Amino acid sequence: MSMRYSAEQKEETRQRIIRAAARRFRRHGASVGIGQLMKSLRMTHGGFYRHFRSKSDLVEAALLEGFRDMRIQMMEAIGNAPPGREIDAIIDFYLSEKHCNDVGGGCPIASLAEEVAREPLPVRQAFERAMESASASVAQFMNGEDAEEKRRRATIFMSGMSGTLAVARAVSDAALRRRILETGREFYTETFAKP
């Protein structure tokens, strides 16, 4: 198990690639090329295959990284909220203009779900696991009769908000975009954040 470069050094590069990919795929779609991606890290495309067996492997890893990134931001939003107001905080963050503008650093469901549906099985499986885990996290703050209902409501809540965010991003008029986000915040708060 000897090696010239420390394992940490190699892992560090791998993580840099994944983090860059997580941003660029969310921003421009998973069709972003490996060439451009490596170039943005001041490396050449050839080195990529020392870290990943194929581009599809990177898509999978970057997708999971996007979910991890989102989880951190969600936790932060929740952390600043008074107890019992966690769902309000999630909504205000998720449907904020800031999140809407930050496609590359935002929710991977809202930027990549439609593309994931066209990806091979391993990517869809990774998406599913991440989605289920995110649902479980949100479910604990959800109202509902039992754990199972909370969980199901959490899935509808998140997938619904992701659709509203995706549509807000797709329209061309900034005023309409703001109106969609605002109406969305009102609706989801009314429907999911009432005690």
Partner DNA sequence: TGTACATCAGTGAACGCGCGTTCACTGATGTAC
As measured in angstroms, the least distance from the Cβ of 95 to a second copy is 10
Q: How far apart are CA 132 and CA 151, in angstroms?
A: 9
HEC readout, 1-66: CCCCCCHHHHHHHHHHHHHHHHHHHHHHCCCCCHHHHHHHCCCCHHHHHHCCCCHHHHHHHHHHHH
Residue with smaller CB distance to DNA, 16 or 129? 16
Q: Which residues bind a second copy (CB under 8 A)?
A: 28-29, 31, 103, 109-118, 121, 124-125, 127-128, 131-132, 152-153, 155-156, 158-173, 176, 179-180, 183-184, 187, 191
118 is a site residue for DNA (CB under 7 A): no
What does 47 interact with, of a second copy, DNA, none (CB < 5 to 8 A by kind)? DNA
What does 45 interact with, of a second copy, DNA, none (CB < 5 to 8 A by kind)? DNA
Q: How far apart are CA 67 and CA 107, in angstroms?
A: 7
As measured in angstroms, the least distance from the Cβ of 184 to a second copy is 6
Q: Which two tokens mark 98?
A: 């800031």
Q: How far apart are CA 80 and CA 1, in angstroms?
A: 45
| Contact indicator for 153, 133 with CB cutoff of 8 Å | no
Residue with smaller CB distance to a second copy, 9 or 36? 36
Q: Which residues bind DNA (CB under 7 A)?
A: 2-6, 9-10, 13, 31-36, 38, 42-51, 54-56
